[in-house]
Every structure is written in C-alpha cells, then in structure tokens.
Amino acid sequence: MSRATTKRSARRRPAAPRKRDAGFRGLGPALLVDLYVTMRRIRRVEETIAALYPEQEIRCPTHLSIGQEAGASGVCLALRTTDTAVSTHRCHAHYIAKGGDLRSMFAELYGRVTGCCGGKGGSMHLTAPEVGMLGASAIVAGSVPLAVGTALAAKMASTDEVAVAFFGDAAMEQGVTHESLALAALRRLPVLFVCENNLYATNTPLRIRQAGSDLAQRAAGHWLPGITVDGNDVIAVYRAAKAAVDRARRGDGPTLIEVKTYRFREHVGPNYDIELGYRTQAELDRWMAREPMGALARRLERARMLEPARRAALDAQVEAEITDAVAFAKSSPFPEQAALYADVE
Amino acid sequence: MRQLKYREAIDEATRQAMAKDERVFVMGVGVDDPKGIFGTTRGAFEQFGGSRVFDTPLSEAALTGMGVGAAMRGFHPLLVHARNDFLLLTMDQIVNNAAKWRYMSGGKLKVPLTIRAIIGRGWGQAAQHSQSLQAMFAHVPGLAVIMPTSPADAKGLLMTALSSDSPVICLEHRWLYDKSGPVPEDPYYTPLGVGAVVRPGRDVTIVAVSHMVLEALQAAETLAAEGIEAEVIDPRTLRPLDSALICRSAARTGRLVIADTGWRSYGVSAEIAARAAEELWGVLKAPIRRVALPDVPTPGSSALESAYYPGPREIVAAVKQCLEAPATSTTDGLAPSNRKEFEGPF
C-alpha cells in the first residue's frame, strides 16, 4: 500500500460530491477500511484455494466461505486479539478475520511442517492461539461448548476477555448447542454465540430440518438475548457483535447472534454446484447480487472513504500477501515421519 | 502408616492438588452436595468454596466441552460423574476434542482435564448404571485412563492426573470406596504407566484390573493353600499400560491369567492378552486365560448378578486351566464374587 499514491490520485481527481453514509455513523474510517480489507483477504484466499485445488497439492477437504465473509469480519473486528474464537469445518474466514497468519494457513493446507498445526490439522482445524483463534472442530456443534469454557476461564481469571463460538445453522439441531446456550446464560459468561445461517447443511435445506427459520428465537428458551442480523451487511454484523461484546465485557452475559448469509460454492470443494438441484441458479443469483465485499466497497467509495486508487493498492497488497503465502507453503518441507508420534500422550 | 479409606484418599488428593495449584477446580452434578459424590468432593467444597467447587446442570456434553475450553486457557478442571455410564453422553467432547486438540494443533494447545467417573455394581444397578467402560476410553490415543485399586494409588494417581497437561480419565469402582489402606499424608505423585506387583509368586501371573485385584488376591490365597503361588499384578493405569512389567512376570511364571471388570470381547483383557501373545510366543507354557464379564448387559436381579460377575472362583478355575491342575474342592467354599461385602443401597 502506498499512501502517497492514494493522495496524489485523489488530488488529480475532480472533487466529486461526498455522499454521507448514515450507516457509518460512529465508525472510524480505519475500521471501515479494515472491514473491507478483511473481507477482501478472505475472498481472495478462498478464490486462490479454488484456483489451486485442481493441482491436487492441497490434499485436504476445503469448505470455502465465499459469500459469507461479512460474518467472520464483522464479528472478529469487534474483538480484541486477546479475545478467543472457536470455529467449525468452515473455519478459513474466522482464522483470517481473527488475524491468523496467511503463510501458516496455506502451509497447513499444503500439509507442510510450517503450517499452523504443523501439518497435523489441515483445513478444518486451523489454529492461531497467538491471536485468539483457538481452533475448530469438524463435528457440527462440537466446538460450541469450548467457547463456554474459554469464557469460564476468562471469568475465573478475572480478565475481561470475551469468547466467540462460530457455528452454522445445523448446529442448532445439536443438543450440545442448547446445553451450551443454557449453561452460558446460567453462569452469565462472556460469550458470543454466532450462528452463521447459510440455509443449507451440506445439501439439505433449513426448511426441512427445522420448524422455523429465525434461529435467534432459540435464545429466548435459554434466557439469553437473540439477535438477527443481515449477514451480508458487514456493518450490521459489526454493530450487533460490538453491542454483544460490550455487554459480555460488562459482565452481563452471553448473546446469540444469527447472521443470515449464503454460501456461493459447493459445501466442500472449489466448485459451484447448482447442477445438484438442491438450490436454484435464481436463488444463487439473488444472493450474489448482495455479496458483502463489493457492497461495502461501493458504499465506501460513495462516501469518499475508499477511492478507487487506494482500493486498488489495498487489493494489490492482499494479492501480494497471498502470492507470498502460497509460495512459502509450496516451498516448505513436509513434516518428518517422527512428527506422527509427537504431541500426544 | 496412617490408614485412609479410598474415598478419603480421593478427597485428600483433590484438596492437596487444589491447594498446590489454584488452576484446579471441581465441577459436576452434586459435587457440593452434603453427600458430595460419596464423600469425595464435599471436603474440597468446604475448604475452597463454591467458586472452585461448583454444582452444574445435567448437561454432560456441554460440561465436558466447557472443561476442555477452560483447560485450553490455563485451568485444570476436574469433572466428576457419579457413574461412568454418563460419559456416553459426552463421547464427542472426550474423543473428538479433549483427546485431539493438542495433536490437531500441532502441540500449540494443551488440554489438562481430569474426568473422574464411578463404576457401579450390585444392588440392582442394572444395565445403565454399572458398566465398566474403560476399554472404550483406553482405545483412544490422546487419553490416559487410570483405574486405581488401593487408597494409596487413588491419591497418588489422582495427584498425577491433576498435575498432568493432558486429559486423564479416572475410573473408580464403587466397591473400593470403603476399603482402607496406608496413605502417606504429604502430596505424592504415582507415575502413569507403571504397574505394581501386589503379590509375588512363581507359578502363574494374574493381571487384574481395579476391583478384580481384590478378587485375584482372594483367589491367590486359595491357590496358595494348594501350593500354587500366583503373582498378582495391578497395572493401575490402562493407558499407558505397563506391558513390560506384565511380560516380564509372565515370562518368568510361564502362565498368564487376566481378570477385568469389563466385558470380554474387545476389552482390556483382550488387549493385554494380545500384547503378551506378541511378546511371549514360545515362552508361555499354557494358553492365556481371561476372566471378564460375559457379553451381555448387566442384569437387575441379584440372582442374575451373581451369575454375571466373575470372582475368585472363576479366577482360580482359570489358573488351574493354565496349570492343567485338577479342580479341587477348595474352590467350593469361595463365593462367586465377594458381593456380600457391599451392602447398599447406593
């Protein structure tokens, strides 16, 4: 990124009328740009994985988050580095948004010893404890109670850390999620339960899995607040998360946030999957027209907070990070055979 | 030396571990109750209060997950269950999380979590309150499984578990709770993976698990009266398992009998037999014999219980099979098991 370049191009441009965006009220320009860059980083990492996948060097299942970038970004940018998050099989976006290192991520996908899990976790177990991204379970709802535990630890240690559990709509069908909501409410623990409702569990639609579609309503039965947000509006997600984080930090307990969003690619893998017939092209088109990253970029441009030249520079920087990370991963060694027996018992 | 009951040894280990390490806390259904899990947790509650010893909802899965999460953030939770059968509600958290997050993270995360659970037996506990599920847990890499028999081991192994940085499952047989034995007062740490010879002998090796150690000692007394000297080994921990001790003993005696509190098929007795068979081909003088539960659920009626649980009589019979010795009338006086010792109710 070159600040100087941005300023020069801004000076050359005739002064267009600046359109104030009421939705940005109270949010600083640095945060707004960071939200964009985070979503851009997630989007481009995922697209890069999709592009590289046919090489068959990424030898692990990859559950891509393209289309769902706003949930991870809006929530994680409302957190501090010392706050913790746990995630699911679809954990790339959470890892990136929480600040996980891209070299370590790609190296993990490539099964290299330099990966964030030393090559032992793969795509579904990304971890970066140094920035509070603890890890992910590939069992639906499996990690939800872990966030209750990290919140318990924070409370017992008298810190003001907040814990986040990211999970999908199908996790609402698992008993342990409800046990966790109830337990966190009972003990007033500082937890955000973030349910990213993308409407499908693999290829099974929500409507044939649950009797209702507003999953935040589930919170009421466990005596905690439930909030629904447009998961493709990163500002809305950020504001909801920030309010819940502030509430948790004050000691007022957990919040369930339902983030309504949509996954563009297949459940697992790099492709589109309309031919499977479980959803329609028209539905996908409707959601793609509302994709969150471009939407924020357009709003920022209208508000003269992210000029095209600066956006291009930021995008180029993201590309450079990814190119570097892929090269690092591909040139890293595989783990030694002895590593098989390390880190257990 | 000072004598303590098994339950008192657990209570003392818990309190000493909590005094030494403020990260240790206790949770579970009824842990602060006046009865306090058969008297094993109430003392800790009285000494350390409700912030470090607290009662919980009946949500085994979430509780275990909460324990894993707190463990990853520097605490050492001690999660207590009144029956090991209840652990079946939480297998995902134990097997997929507690046992695996350290490995999956390439060692970045550690899960110092201790889970105590009790094996019930008798008094009509029936099929869902009396299971002995150690083989299920010992199957899983990443978990340690300890089954202390003596009060001294109950204290020493639990102290070790509560100072470990990995998950440990401690299975306690309910019939051991009122047994007394010498227990040192100061804190001490019994290492995992080190078995104990609880009775030396030259003719046959009996490896016995948990309460079966007491039944094996009773069998050994009977055998001694006939001039057969049985060596009784208590592995004390099943994962890690002290294979070397077992194999050294069996190589010397040439005969191996294994007595487990669990089912025969795919159980701990099968694993120990397999290890001995792998190591001692051509050394053993007789086929390995196993004494374990028959492959049926636990029945409720006391008449059926006595047919279900093997005891000293079955161990003596197995030893005699190994020795090709004739069954004699000396076994007739042995109860099927020492079930009369436990009066109930639970």
Hey, are the CB atoms on B72 and A147 less than 8 Å from each other?
no
Give the type of residue at A135: G
- Distinct helix (H) and strand (E) counts, chain B: 13, 14
**Distance (Å) from the C-alpha of residue A4 to the closest C-alpha of chain B?**
40
Whether the CB-CB separation of A42 and A73 falls below 8 Å is answered with yes
Mean pLDDT of A282-296: 97
Chain A residues whose beta carbon lies within 8 Å of the beta carbon of residue B94: none
**Distance (Å) from the C-alpha of residue A142 to the closest C-alpha of chain B?**
7
CB-closest option in A139, A163, A345 to B96: A139
Hey, are the CB atoms on A117 and B108 less than 8 Å from each other?
yes
The answer for A32, left when phi > 0, alpha when psi is -120 to 50, beta otherwise, is alpha
Hey, are the CB atoms on B102 and A143 less than 8 Å from each other?
no
Residue of A nearest to B57 (CA): A183
Residue of B nearest to A185 (CA): B57
Residue of A nearest to B104 (CA): A121
Question: When comparing pLDDT for A15 and A32, which is higher?
Answer: A32
A85 in B contact zone (CB under 8 Å) = no
Residues 142-161 of chain A with CB under 8 A from chain B are 142-154, 156-157
A179 alpha carbon, distance to own chain's centre? 24
Angle at alpha carbon of residue A257, lines to A253 and A263, rounded to 5°: 150
Q: What H or E segment, with its residue span, contains residue A160? A: none
Angle at alpha carbon of residue A44, lines to A191 and A295, rounded to 5°: 70
B66 in A contact zone (CB under 8 Å) = yes
**Residue B289 β-bridge partners:** B257
Give the type of residue at A102: L
The answer for A122, left when phi > 0, alpha when psi is -120 to 50, beta otherwise, is left
B144 in A contact zone (CB under 8 Å) = yes
Q: Which residues contact B126 (CB under 8 A, 6 or more apart)?
A: B297, B298, B299, B300
Q: What pLDDT, on a 0 to 100 scale, did the predictor assign at position A18?
A: 77
How confident is residue A4, by pLDDT bands cut at 50, 70 and 90?
A: very low
**Distance (Å) from the C-alpha of residue B115 to the closest C-alpha of chain A?**
15
Residues 94-153 of chain A with CB under 8 A from chain B are 115-121, 125, 127, 129, 134-135, 137, 139, 142-153
B166 in A contact zone (CB under 8 Å) = yes
pLDDT per residue over A181-190, tens digit each? 999 999 999 9
Asked whether residue A1 carries a pLDDT value surpassing 50, the answer given is no
Token representation of residue A223: 């005596």
Whether the CB-CB separation of A188 and A152 falls below 8 Å is answered with no
Give the type of residue at B117: A
How confident is residue B50, by pLDDT bands cut at 50, 70 and 90?
A: very high
Could you tell me which of B338, B12, B4 has the C-alpha nearest to residue B175? B338
Q: Tally A–B CB contacts below 8 A.
A: 144
Q: What pLDDT, on a 0 to 100 scale, did the predictor assign at position B279?
A: 97
Q: What pLDDT, on a 0 to 100 scale, did the predictor assign at position A107?
A: 98
Instruction: Report the DSSP pairing between strands B114-119 and B168-173.
Output: parallel
Q: Is the peptide bond before B240 cis (omega within 30 degrees of 0)?
A: yes
**Whole-structure pTM value:** 0.94
CA distances from A326 to A60, A203, A321, A329, B320 (A): 15, 30, 9, 5, 67
Q: What pLDDT, on a 0 to 100 scale, did the predictor assign at position A3?
A: 45
B69 in A contact zone (CB under 8 Å) = yes
Token representation of residue A29: 């320009």
Share of chain A above pLDDT 90, in %: 93
- Point out the residues of B that are catalytic: 129
B141 in A contact zone (CB under 8 Å) = yes
Asked whether residue B128 carries a pLDDT value surpassing 70, the answer given is yes
Chain B residues whose beta carbon lies within 8 Å of the beta carbon of residue A152: 66, 69-70, 75
How confident is residue B339, by pLDDT bands cut at 50, 70 and 90?
A: low
pLDDT per residue over B10-27, tens digit each? 999 999 999 999 999 999
Asked whether residue B340 carries a pLDDT value surpassing 80, the answer given is no
Whether the CB-CB separation of A1 and A317 falls below 8 Å is answered with yes
pLDDT per residue over B53-98, tens digit each? 999 999 999 999 999 999 999 999 999 999 999 999 999 999 999 9
Range name among A51-55, A77-81, B32-36, B108-112 with the lowest pLDDT average: B32-36
Helices (H), chain B: 6-20, 36-39, 42-48, 60-72, 91, 101-104, 134-138, 151-163, 212-225, 243-253, 268-279, 302-308, 312-323
Mean pLDDT of A102-124: 97
Hey, are the CB atoms on B72 and A134 less than 8 Å from each other?
yes
Chain A residues whose beta carbon lies within 8 Å of the beta carbon of residue B64: 145
pLDDT per residue over B179-232, tens digit each? 999 999 999 999 999 999 999 999 999 999 999 999 999 999 999 999 999 999
- The rounded distance, in Å, linking the Cα atoms of B24 and A313 is 51
Q: What pLDDT, on a 0 to 100 scale, did the predictor assign at position B123?
A: 86
Hey, are the CB atoms on A146 and B72 less than 8 Å from each other?
yes
